[in-house]
Chains A and B, each alone.
Chain A
Amino acid sequence: MAIHNREAFLDKLAGRLGRPRRTEVAPPSYSVRPQERVFQGATQDELVEKLEAQCEVIHTSFERVTLSELEDTLRRVLNGYGVSKIVSAGGPRIETSGLVDFYDQLRKEDYEVQIWDEEKGRQNVEFAEQAGAGIVFSDITLAESGTVTLFNDRYNGRSISLLPETFIAIIPKSTMVPRMTQAGRLIHEEEEKGNPVSSCVSFVTGPSNSADIEMNLIVGVHGPVKATYIVVDDL
């Protein structure tokens, strides 16, 4: 941990700008704020509808359920993908949503399920690399772009949403916001309060894709090939 060569470097910039170094800058007030207008005043249900429409664009399957239907839906989605090896994010939310018991049940039925566990260290990553599906909870969900925001941490390793071939995001309806504006503001406000942002914030919008070969869209070049969002109404 260190900072090298800073002072001379920054002195030079200030010199070029024709003034002494600045040690304070008043936050600017910008003349327009078009970002506020997107889906302004929309209800949570309307935002879910926008999300559903956007899922078409981003090649992502969409499900909408109540908490009591979540297990059956997850099972159907997993079977649809032909997946029997699963890595899932852990933490309080898999408990409140009843997934801990559901995973136990799956294990009895010859599924291999691993909940991300810091005690197991690097083995988590190796498991994720072999897993057919990674299951995470969205922290903030952006209706406009169809994006789930993941604050990666000890419960939600970066690899879960990245290495398995399919990506399943459980989206509590309460996490819906119009667009990235609200996510950016929330993080900004937390920073101002002195709550530092997570070491990795991933905004994920559907499966991995590329248009590098003759501009053909190809999914899954590095990350997941397929993605499903499951919106849970009463979470």
Chain B
Amino acid sequence: MSIKIGSKAYAERIQDGIDNSFMRKAVSSAQGRFRTGRLKAAEELGDWEDWRTLGEEIRSHTMENLDYYLHQLSEEVEKRGGTVFFAETAEEANAYVQEIAKKKQAKKVVKSKSMVTEEIGLNEALAESGCEVVESDLGEWILQLDEDPPSHIVTPALHKNKEQIRETFVKKKGYTKSDDPVELAAFAREQLRQDFLSADIGVTGCNFAVAESGAVTLVTNEGNARMVTSLPDTQISVMGMERIVPTWEDLEVVVSLLTRAAVGQKLTSYITALTGTRLEDEVDGPEDFHLVIVDNGRSKILGTEFQSALHCIRCAACINACPVYRHVGGHSYGSIYPGPIGAVLTPLLDGYEDHKELPYASSLCAACTEACPVKIPLHEHLIMHREIIVERERMNAKSEEIMMKGFAKWASTPAAYKMSTKMARTALKPWTKDEHIENGPGPLKGWTDQRDFPAPPKKSFREWYKHREERRNG
């Protein structure tokens, strides 16, 4: 697999998404729950905006000094008995991991969920080297058995119902019990235990590396990352080069932002920070540790107007806030990174050619930007993409038509839009609930019959743009 998933055309993917009513219901209820969790967590803290400011400052400082911190990280990892490999491309990263597998004569690899390994297609590379690869995150395990791509960053198997999951277990693993989630999970636990105990290599991603100590941190609820890093003798962690913080003090801030923004938890069940190999007097943990730091197109974003896209901490808050994602689901984006951040990141990493529709998969309502715990101006990035697509690349994207007929017309009619920027927030108040509008009046009716409509942002894009132009000119 690479960043791109499937070969279906954009319009077809969208139609599949719209036709899949189970998925749409699941997505909408998950969005609701995650969103409520996030808002509740923010409210509990009381000073969420300060937290976001701090998150943004930490991320920008780190990105501005990325070369320094990656240097420090690699020194520390080496001091603690680990090996570090800097990989420019997916191929280089995969070849390095294949080489380790070959040296270890590995037959079985257990993995904990990792987006960057999806992005570089590591599973296929390992399979080529004759390794059986087992995804150990419950959702990923289900998808792997069913050969299906993930559709959400936090809950990858969101689009599957329990009957489908049971069927997969029956077909692929000889499961005999019911479709009760507890029984299904108990079966997975039993099966996966055996894999953990017999694996030669454990592969993980990395939520955040800590430069000052060389730690690789994994944030999970299931604890599978702890299994993957405690039991096999060899551990390989693969990280996108931007997934780093300077110190442990910074780590705790971004971890707190991540868990609250993702699911509304104060902390997840497990946050595990692993540094190098196990010490001489320790019994469990790896005796051989490798950190693979991957560029794979990320450096092209540094120093550009899109640099803040690298601040992303993969919490999925923007995805959960997005009305378009709600409508079409994760697969429609054709990328392992769905939703607003996917629409921003995918063309940056993989070029416009295959992804020129993605920046149009947005209503520019700015719900994503408001949700982002590190204040990435996602909708502004989407607008910049559109400008580039139209002006520089001279490509033609038909998405607005396909994506949201009625809505697009309303939003792109200057008079209507202007009216909305001035009046909508007040006028729509009676219908606004929890940031969204249900059962909207007049022109919104058709849309809200099917789905919630995002409440207009406090400042509209046009206002923002005008303001920006004024600032620029004056």
Do A and B make up one complex? yes
> Which residues on A are within 8 Å of B, measured CB to CB?
1-6, 9-14, 16-18, 21-25, 27-28, 30-35, 37-38, 54, 58, 116, 118, 120-122, 124-125, 129, 142, 144-147, 152-154, 157-159, 162, 179-181, 183-185, 187-188, 191-192, 196-216, 218, 220-223
Closest Cβ of chain A: how far from B170's Cβ, in Å? 15
Number of interface residues of B (CB under 8 A): 107
Distance of A196 Cα from B74 Cα, bound (Å): 15
B83 cross-chain contacts in A, Cβ below 8 A: 1-4
Q: Report whether A202 and B252 are in contact in the complex, using a CB–CB cutoff of 8 Å.
A: no
Whether A223 pairs with B226 at a CB distance below 8 angstroms is yes
A45 to B268, CA, bound (A): 24
- The smallest C-beta distance from B32 to any residue of chain A, in angstroms, reads 10
Confirm or deny: B281 has a beta carbon within 8 angstroms of a beta carbon on chain A. Answer: yes
Check A221 against B57 for contact (C-beta < 8 Å). no
B70 within 8 A of A: yes
Question: Which residues on the B side are within 8 Å of A11 (C-beta)?
Answer: 67
**C-alpha spacing A23/B213, complex, angstroms:** 17
Beta-carbon contact of B185 and A218 below 8 Å: yes
A16 touches B249 (CB 8 A): no
Query: Which residue in A3, A17, A34, A206 is a CB contact (below 8 Å) of B45?
Result: A34
Q: Pick the residue among A33, A210, A218 that contacts B54 (CB under 8 A).
A: A33
Contacts of A5 in B (CB 8 A): 85-88, 92
**A-B contacts at CB below 8 angstroms, number:** 288
Q: In whole angstroms, how far apart are the Cα atoms of A39 and B86 in the complex?
A: 42
Contacts of B274 in A (CB 8 A): 199-200
Contact B84 A6, beta carbon cutoff 8 Å: yes
Cβ–Cβ contact A222 & B224, under 8 A:
yes
Do B157 and A162 have beta carbons less than 8 Å apart? no
Q: How far is the CB of B328 from chain A (nearest CB, A)?
A: 19
Q: 5 tightest CB-CB pairs across the interface, nearest first?
A: A223-B223, A184-B252, A212-B139, A145-B266, A34-B50
Q: Are A208 and B248 in contact (CB under 8 A)?
A: no
Let me know if B468 is at the binding interface, CB within 8 A.
Answer: no
- B positions within 8 Å CB-CB of A: 26, 29-30, 33, 45, 47, 50-51, 53-54, 57-58, 61, 64-71, 74-75, 78-88, 92, 96, 136-139, 142, 155-158, 161-162, 165, 181-182, 184-186, 188-189, 192-193, 197, 212-213, 215, 221-224, 226-227, 229-231, 241, 246-249, 251-253, 255-256, 263, 265-279, 281-285, 293, 295, 299-300, 302-303
Bound form: Cα–Cα A31–B55 in Å: 11
A45: shortest Cβ distance to chain B, in Å? Answer: 21
Q: A32 touching B302 by the CB < 8 A rule? A: no
CA A5 to CA B86, docked complex, whole Å: 5
Kindly list 20 other residue pairs between chains A and B, CB separation below 8 angstroms, not including A1-B82, A16-B299: A4-B85, A5-B92, A12-B299, A17-B64, A27-B246, A34-B54, A146-B266, A157-B282, A157-B283, A157-B284, A201-B273, A203-B267, A204-B269, A208-B221, A210-B185, A214-B162, A216-B181, A218-B181, A221-B189, A222-B189
Which residues on A sit within 8 Å (CB–CB) of B249? 181, 184-185, 188
28 pairs of residues in contact across A and B, judged by CB atoms under 8 Å: A3-B86, A5-B92, A10-B67, A12-B295, A21-B67, A22-B67, A35-B51, A58-B269, A118-B281, A118-B282, A120-B283, A121-B283, A144-B266, A157-B283, A159-B230, A180-B256, A200-B230, A200-B273, A201-B215, A202-B271, A202-B272, A203-B270, A208-B223, A213-B142, A215-B26, A221-B185, A221-B224, A223-B222
